[in-house]
Structure 1
Amino acid sequence: MNYTNTTTDLSDNPIDTAIISVGATEQFGPFLPMHLDTLIAEQYAEAYGKVLNAICVTYISF
């Protein structure tokens, strides 16, 4: 379960835990990606979500 599921999917699912990943969106110089912190936070949230059977939500701060 993640942010792409509908409200009906979420209400019909017995999952009661959500993991909210928070990462900054900033540039790390001319050669690195612009949202590296967000990508890392998403990967950890998805991994923990699979282990805990939780819904993963991504929050991006600008």
Structure 2
Amino acid sequence: MEILWFILIFISLTGHGDAYGPDSCNHEGGLCRVGKCITGEYLARYCFEPVILCCKSLSRATTKN
């Protein structure tokens, strides 16, 4: 029964409105991460909204020296 709930949650996440998927994120130079982006990255969009984020590295021009 637990597996059924897991499958339903996964289907719900993949079918959510504003998610682009990992292929789109990787194609544009981002990485899909669970929870939050690491230091030096920013949230570009969602791979699977709202749990899995598409994070991209900050460019050198936007970081402070």
TM-score of the superposition, structure 1-length normalised? 0.28
Q: Which has the higher strand share?
A: 2
Q: Which has the higher helix share?
A: 1
